[in-house]
Structure 1
Amino acid sequence: MTTISIISYAAVQPIGVCYGLNGNNLPSAQDAVNIYKRNGIQKMRIYAPVPEVLNARRWTNIEQNFLLMLPMKTFSPLQPILQQLQIGYISVGNEVPSSSNIAQYVAPAMEKIQNALASAGLQSQIKVSTSIYAGLLSVSYPPSQGLFSNETKPFVKPIIDILVRNNAPLLVSVYPYFSYIGDPSDISLDYALFTSRGIVVQDGSFGYQNIFDAILDAQYSAQEKEGGSSVNIVVSETGCSYDGNPPVASSTNAGIYYKNVISHVKSGKGTPRRPGRGIETFLFAMFEENQKLGAETERHFGLFFPDQQPKYRISFN
């Protein structure tokens, strides 16, 4: 099985929200889409080609985002759908570990899909990419020293080369929440929540007030060392849990994070290494998911409760 995610792109980049379905008490797909509409959320990312979601979306102006678990042979039947929807690029793989037995197939699959798009006349409309997580770096501090590990480079380098050739972005999951709970003695809560009043990390001429920017710039530094200085980054997931891992996992702190990350990416300031460049960002996630695997904290990233009530007082756009 190959994971294929399809994510839309627009020159003006509104906030997107990931729509997970790992719950047995979630609202209908049409009700979920209506919540997107009422809150002005124009980008959606889903994790399976659920017919109810696709059909609900067709009656809205949401720029659809798909995360599809599909065998490669089912890509061709998707081409008519790609032509109908506003889609800018396709991602093969979602946070594939470089040590996994499928890692070697990601770059070749990207090439095959790029060729398939060219055959369908969609190569200028849709770019091919993949989604990675920040843990592929062996060095992330200071950001200018960002470096992919020797074990990761054989996986990452071919991907970056493809992205450079096709002017496509790299999709990256960026979670200050996990950075903080993994190292609370060295990373302050203010640095993770965008609430630091001054520079926390000075890296040469670049100053960092939040770890979100630091994570992104470490990724940019690592890409540059592999010939990917022209490759832009799209934040394909970011969020904060409100339960399961105090002190950061609280309703108050999660609300602060979501509000501040929205404000930051919508400001258009970019990061210290990429100033003035918009950061296309998808928040994780739309609803609480009571059947999500992993630690208890994983089930509490929702922006809305299953009864459709908002968890936080935030404006998305």
Structure 2
Amino acid sequence: MKSLTSLQLFLLLSTTVFNLFSSTAAIGVNYGMVADNLPSPTEVANFIKSKTIFDSVKIFDTNPNVLRAFANTGITMTVTIPNGEIPNLANEGAASAWVNANIQPFHPQTKIKYISIGNEIVLLGNPAHINGLVPAMIALTEALRKAGPQFQDIKVTSAHALNMFQGLTVPSLARFRVDLAETFFKPVLQFHQQNKSPFMINPYPYFELNVMSDNIDYAVFRKTPGVFDPTSKKTYSNALDSLLDKTYTAMSALGFGDVDIVIGETGWPSLGDPGNKAAGMDNAASYNGHLIRKIVSGAGTPLMPNRKFETYIFALFNENQKPGPIAEKNWGLFQPDFSPVYTSGALRDGPQPNLGNPGFDAEVKV
């Protein structure tokens, strides 16, 4: 075989990198719009398609302007139904009307992949939403079936915060909350198993810092001695793996370890209020840079080796109108002018982060 020129070698490596991103687990981004300075949805769709590694986008409503903007881009979409609509959607007529109004005008030109009914309803604790979720999921799935064969590839799910475990146990002993395990999570997981839809979770090591004794390095994938699970004999090098394995163990304890897990939200803020030691550029770059490499590598977790997790990073933009502390406005990978807030590896042809963690790099074998 004759030797390659420098240009040929560059093109070969570029193709290899592209194939790495395009042939492994989907990696997407949450596109929030709580801001008064964002570009148009059409500009956003063009940017994501042409400049980033993302092949999927999650939004927190069914904004028709956004759905139209992503038509014929090949990018898959997750749309969200507000929590307050859950009780009404248990009615088959209401579910069909919702599909007719919010899905039929757009799909399949816009590739809607998931419908998330509600967001973090257990965290918010409204009994009507908790009790109504499974009936609404069933009714909406039936409405999609009745709408025609072109809609039956859309899966119904709901994104869950990780306040769902009983106690603060190691991953191998994790269980769902006693008050909800049989009455809520078992029917939810049974629905997913029967319909081959994913259990969507929002794991945020940033919000778990108190649980982890404020070990920021462990939370953002930096090299640490790790955390040993004496039951499984596994050592955890990062907090995300621990949260994923807690979820898997709790699911398995109910008999649903075969249900797919999708990461609906995870990320890290790049700026916080004075005294917030966790929020910052370096930590955000470390977390999201390592996250992207990990997901693309398909390395899995200690209890789920080589398992691929479809993942949606939170978030695409900093959102200047979000209420709460400064950190809430600064989860974005990009500024509204599309310039990177920091180097994360999310740009297709952009610079890659210098993660400075040979132990992790060797582990994921990217």
Between structure 1 and structure 2, the one with the greater Rg is: 2
- Residue of structure 1 equivalent to 2:184: 155
| Pairwise CA distance, 1:187 | 4.2
Asked if the contact 1:110–1:129 (Cα under 8 Å) also holds between the matched residues in 2, the reply is: yes
- Paired amino acid for 2:287: Y
Counting strand residues as a fraction of each chain, which structure ranks higher? Answer: 1
Match of 1:116 in 2: 143
Structure 1: which amino acid aligns with 2:197? A
Partner of 2:111: 86
Partner of 1:7: none
**Cα distance in 2 for residues equivalent to 1:32 and 1:228:** 37
1:272 deviation in Å?
1.1
Displacement of 1:176 after TM fit?
0.6
Higher helix share: 2
| Secondary structure at 2:112 match in 1 | coil
Point out which structure has higher relative CO (alpha carbons under 8 A, 6+ apart). Answer: 1
Identify the residue that residue 45 of structure 1 maps to in structure 2. Answer: 58
Does residue 189 (structure 1) correspond to residue 216 (structure 2)? The answer is yes
Corresponding residue for 1:136? 164
Secondary structure in 1 aligned to 2:337?
Answer: coil
1:202-217 to 2 correspondence within 5 Å?
Answer: 202-203=229-230, 204-217=232-245
8 Å contact kept, 2:206–2:268:
yes
Find 2:36's aligned residue among 24, 28, 42. Answer: 24
Residues 140 and 218, structure 1, Cα contact 8 Å, conserved in 2: no
* CA–CA separation in structure 2 for the residues paired with 1:235 and 1:301: 16
* TM-aligned CA distance change 1:286 to 1:107, over 3 Å: same
Go from structure 1 to structure 2 and tell me whether the alpha carbon gap of 1:247 and 1:192 turns closer, same or farther (over 3 Å shift): same
Which of 229, 244, 247 is the matching residue for 2:272?
A: 244
- Give TM-score scaled by structure 1 length: 0.89
Partner of 2:351: none
Cα distance change of structure 1 residues 132 and 264 upon mapping to structure 2, 3 Å threshold: same
Root mean square deviation, CA, Å: 2.1
Secondary structure at 1:304's aligned position in 2? coil
1:76 partnered with 2:95: no
- Letter of the 2:120 counterpart: E
Whole-Å separation in 1 of the counterparts to 2:237 and 2:317: 29
Q: Which of the residues 190, 207, 211 maps onto 1:178? A: 207
In 2, the alpha carbon distance for the partners of 1:47 and 1:121 equals 25
1:224-256 Cα distance to aligned partner (Å, 9 max, x none)? 122211112100000111122521111111111
Q: Which residue of 1 aligns with 2:258?
A: 230
Asked if structure 1 preserves the Cα contact closer than 8 Å seen for 2:121 and 2:160, the reply is yes
Alpha-carbon distance change, 231 to 11 in structure 1, aligned in 2, over 3 angstroms: farther
Q: Displacement, 1:114? A: 1.7
User: Letter of the aligned partner of 1:62 in structure 2?
Assistant: I
CA distance in 2 between partners of 1:213 and 1:304 (Å): 26
Q: Does 1:107 align with 2:134?
A: yes
- Give yes or no for contact 2:72–2:109 (8 Å, CA) kept in 1: no
Query: In the TM superposition, what are the counterparts of 1:50-69 in structure 2 within 5 Å?
Result: 50-69=63-82
Tell me the distance in 1 between the aligned counterparts of 2:103 and 2:271. 41
Are 1:260 and 2:273 matched, yes or no?
Answer: no
CA distance in 2: counterparts of 1:227 and 1:123, whole angstroms: 29
| Alignment match, 2:13 | none
Q: Displacement of 1:20 after TM fit?
A: 0.3
CA distance in 2, matches of 1:84, 1:157: 35
Residue by residue, what CA displacement relative to the aligned partner does 1:111-130 show, whole Å, maximum 9, x if unpaired?
11121222233575222221
| C-alpha separation in 2, matches of 1:88 and 1:32 | 19
The residue identity in structure 1 corresponding to 2:312 is F
Unaligned runs of 5+ in 1: 1-9
- Secondary structure of the structure 1 residue equivalent to 2:138: helix
Worse-superposed segment, 59-68 or 129-138: 59-68
Q: Distance in 2 between matches of 1:193 and 1:85?
A: 34
